[in-house]
Amino acid sequence: MNKLHVLVVGSTGLVGSSLTRVLSKSRKVSRLTPSSRKDTDLFDFNKTKKLIAQTKPDVLIIAAAKVGGIVANNTLRTEFLLENLKINTNLLEASIPYPDMKIINLGSSCIYPLQAENPIKEEYFMDGKLEPTNSPYAMAKLTAIELGRSINKQFGHQVLNLMPTNLYGPNDYFNFEHSHVIPGLLSRMHKAKIDNDEKFFIWGSGSPFREFLYVDDLSNAIEFLLDKNLNIDLLNVGSGHEITIKNLSELIKKTIGYEGELAFDKNIPDGNPRKLLDSKLINKLGWKPATTLEIGLKNTYDWFLENFNSLKK
C-alpha cells in the first residue's frame, strides 16, 4: 500500500486537532501537514493557492470552517455565509491544477431539508427548504458540495463530501453564547456548579432530539476512508443514536456533578425538532463509531477542566 501525504486545513479546531492526533498514528499516512490560520489565511486566494502548490498533498482534508451553535448561526448570519464561502471556494479553486489530489470536504447535517424524513438519507440532498436558523451556514456548505461536483466532472478530481452529525469533544469551542449545544451546556453548567446556582436555564424547550458523535470517531472514519475509491461523493457519518436535549442536559448534569435544578427557556427557538442521520452506507463499508455518549462527555469534561485556565483567556 502506498502511504499518503495528507494536508489538513483547519488543524487547530475541534475536528482538525482530532485529525492531527489520529492521522499522526495512521499506517496509511507517510507525511501529515497540519495547516491553520497561523500559517495561511484561507480568506486570501493567493495565499491558499500557495499552500496547495507548496505542499502538493495526495489528500486534502478541508476541516476549516466558521462554526457555532443555534444562537451564533441565527445572529451572525452574514459572517457564517461569507466566511465559509470564502474558505471553501478558495480551497477548491486552488485545487483545480491538481486532479490527482483527493479532496475530503467536511460538511454538516444542516445541509438537509428541515422536513426531511428521519433517519435522513444522502438522497435527500437538495430536496426541500432549509432550517431557517442556520440556512446561511448550510448554503455555504451546499455551495462547496456543488463546486466539488463541478470540479470532479470538469477536471476529474475525486471529491468526497462527508456529512457528520453534531460533533463534540476535546478542543471544542466552549463559548457561553456562540458554541454548539454540548460545549455550551457543559461550560455554562460548570460555572453554575462553581457559583452554587440553584437553577440552571437551558435554551429552548428541551424536547428536540439530536444525534451526537465524538470527534475522534469522525477522525477514525476519515482515516478509514483515506485509501477507499468510492463511486459516491456524499456520505453521512453519524452515531446512529439520538437523545432529547432534556435528557442530554441531565447526562451533562451527572457528568459535571451539578446539583441544582434544570429549567428551560422556551423563548429561544428549538431549531429542527429531530435530526438523525442514516449512516447505513458508511456502516456497510466497514466503519462504526466506538465511543458512547457517556464516555465522550467524560473525556470532553476532563479536557475542559485540564484546559480551563487557558480557555478563560
Per annotation, catalytic residue among 98, 112, 124, 137? 137
Residues 6+ apart with CB under 8 A from 201: 263, 264, 265
- Is 258 designated active site? no
**Residue 14, SS3 per DSSP:** helix
User: Before 119, cis peptide (omega within 30)?
Assistant: yes
CB 93 within 8 A of CB 156: no
CB 252 within 8 A of CB 185: yes
Q: Tell me, what DSSP letter sits at residue 268?
A: S
Distance CA 39, CA 21 (A): 19
Distance CA 240, CA 237 (A): 9
CB 66 within 8 A of CB 80: yes
| Rg of the chain taking only CA atoms, in angstroms | 19
State which H helix or E strand residue 55 sits in: helix 45-55
Closest CA to 305 of 265, 269, 255, 232: 255
Provide the grid cell at 122: 444522502
Catalogue the active-site residues.
137
